[in-house]
Amino acid sequence: MEIGPIFRAMWRNRIGVALIALQIAFTMTVVVNAIYIINERSRLMARPSGLDEANLFYLRSVGFQEGFDEESTIVEDRILLQATPGIIDMTVMNAIPLSGSGSSTGVRVNPDANGPSTYTALYRVDEHAIDTMGLELIAGENFTTAEVRQLGRLDSGSTAPIIITEALAEALFTGGAAEALGNTLYWQVDIPMQIIGVVKQLQAPWPTFASIENSMLIPNNILDGQSLYLVRTEPGQVNTMMLRVEELLADSNPARIIMNVKSLEETRADSYRIDSSMARILLVVIVILVFITSMGVVGLAVFGINRRRRQIGTRRALGATQGQIIRYFLVENLIISGIGVTLGAVLTLGFNIFLVQTFNMPRIEWYYTPLGMLALVLVGLLAVLGPSRGAARIPPAIATRTV
């Protein structure tokens, strides 16, 4: 093997080698951490909300004229929507999952003001909520029509039966859903709320909420002049029904306006807009960096080959095969890449520690670094393959000429 001559030749051009190795190291640092960030964001975006998102939309009905009666309007609207083909169900809610706006509260297992409280999203709903959202009731039962109460604006809390998510049940009771059912939670210190049902999953409205799986359903509606309707349609009809329902409701009662009509899929896209943008920007950065670095490898290889045309010719004249010439440059590249990715592994982990500490992200999985090293070595080899094949075609006769 020609390891000895390769090293000696590299040593003579050590600055050039160091430049490429450093480029590879930085490229690896950026690429590996960028892929890690992309995967991290994708994982967040892929979490299910527990809802039948594809077939849901919502809208806000806001009264503005004297004589607008919110309570009777809701009843009339329900009758109207139930008679509309394509609509499966609707519920009146205080907040929409994934929308980024809603309310949260602390609940306790004991009515002790100093005891620990668990944070949960608070959804005020009616008896149609579970059917409309498409939630899976895993224990207990749904609210009855009689249990749903209409409260005045800024009414303080009062006792009510509640339905909670399995995650909230597990956070509060060691026995999970089974123990939660029939038990009592305390809200606003000492208001008792009996758990009558547990649903499998329902996310809180804020994608960045630490306890995103903790949700609590209360059967009441606050009459404050505006109501939020969540509507479930037959599969595939969301877009047509959004327009239909908006018109239908706007025409049925001129004392209010219909606003914020939006599908849940659109809401999800908006809520994760920053995450998906970040993923795309990083993807572009990765492509650019890999391109720039491979161009650097190509540039330096071409330069090295041009400088050594006569030596290459001489080697060929002395009996080296084309394969041996190609091998020479591949081995040389392998050594440079090896130095680069080794340094890169250290930088990658260092940068990841910075990300973890500064931005409170989980640590990188162990396999990212070796995969990144392998990928960059392969990129380097691919980049150098073209120039080295060119080098192999240098005719042996060149050794006999003076440039």
Partner 1 sequence: MLFYYLRLGALSYRRNPVLSTLMVMAVAIGVGSYMVVFTLNYVMGGDPIPQKSSQLYHVQLDSGDPDTESDPPEQLTYLDSMALIDADLPFPRTATSKFFAIVEPDGETRPFSVMGRGSYADFFTMFNVPFLFGSGWDRSADRELQQVVVLSRELNERLFGGVDSVGESVLLDGYNFQVIGVVDDWTPIPKFYDVNNGPFDPSEEVYIPWPQIINLDMQRSGNTNCWKPLDGSGIQAFLNSECIWLQFWVELADRNDRQLYQDYLDNYVREQKQLGRFQRPLNNHLYDVNEWLLLREVLPNETRILSALAAMLLGVCLLNTIGLLLSKFLGKAGEIGVRQALGANKASLFIQHVVEAGFIGLLGGLLGLGVAALGLQGIRILLGDLMVTDWIQLDTTVVTVTIGLAILSTIVAGLYPIWRACRINPSTHLKTQ
Residue whose structure tokens are 């050794």: 399
Cβ-Cβ contacts under 8 Å for 90 (sequence gap 6 or more): 77, 78, 81, 128, 132, 229, 230, 231, 232
Q: State the minimum distance, in angstroms, from the CB of residue 152 to partner 1.
A: 7
Long-range contacts of 34-37 (CB under 8 A, 24+ apart): 34/282, 34/283, 34/285, 34/286, 35/282, 35/286, 35/368, 35/372, 36/352, 36/364, 36/365, 36/368, 37/278, 37/279, 37/282, 37/355, 37/361
Tally Cβ neighbours within 10 Å of residue 191: 15
Cβ-Cβ contacts under 8 Å for 273 (sequence gap 6 or more): none
Which element (helix H / strand E) includes 262?
strand 256-263
Q: State the minimum distance, in angstroms, from the CB of residue 19 to partner 1.
A: 4
Comparison of 134 and 296: residue with beta carbon closer to partner 1: 296
Q: State the minimum distance, in angstroms, from the CB of residue 157 to partner 1.
A: 7
Alpha helix ranges (H) inside 205-272: 238-252, 264-271
Tally Cβ neighbours within 10 Å of residue 160: 21
Residue whose structure tokens are 């590249």: 333
Alpha helix ranges (H) inside 105-174: 129-133, 166-172
d(CA 210, CA 319): 69
Site residues (CB under 8 A) for partner 1?
A: 15-16, 19-20, 22-23, 26-27, 29-30, 33-34, 37, 62, 64-66, 113-114, 152-157, 188-189, 224-226, 250, 257, 259, 270, 273-274, 276-278, 280-282, 284-285, 288-289, 292-293, 295-296, 299-300, 302-303, 306-307, 351, 354-355, 358-359, 402-403
Q: State the minimum distance, in angstroms, from the CB of residue 263 to partner 1.
A: 15
How many Å is the Cα radius of gyration of the chain?
A: 33
Nearest to 211 by CA among 170, 179, 183, 246: 170
Using alpha carbons only, give the angle 97, 103, 109 rounded to the nearest 5 degrees.
105
Comparison of 30 and 171: residue with beta carbon closer to partner 1: 30
Comparison of 83 and 154: residue with beta carbon closer to partner 1: 154
Q: State the minimum distance, in angstroms, from the CB of residue 138 to partner 1.
A: 31
Sign of torsion over alpha carbons 49, 51, 54, 58: negative
β-strand partners of 104: 121
Q: State the minimum distance, in angstroms, from the CB of residue 111 to partner 1.
A: 13
Q: State the minimum distance, in angstroms, from the CB of residue 239 to partner 1.
A: 18
Which element (helix H / strand E) includes 288?
helix 273-307
Q: State the minimum distance, in angstroms, from the CB of residue 265 to partner 1.
A: 15
Torsions phi, psi for 95 (to 5 deg): -155, 150
Q: State the minimum distance, in angstroms, from the CB of residue 1 to partner 1.
A: 27
Comparison of 318 and 403: residue with beta carbon closer to partner 1: 403
Comparison of 189 and 382: residue with beta carbon closer to partner 1: 189
Q: State the minimum distance, in angstroms, from the CB of residue 296 to partner 1.
A: 4
Comparison of 30 and 172: residue with beta carbon closer to partner 1: 30
Nearest to 36 by CA among 305, 349, 245, 325: 349
Q: State the minimum distance, in angstroms, from the CB of residue 123 to partner 1.
A: 17
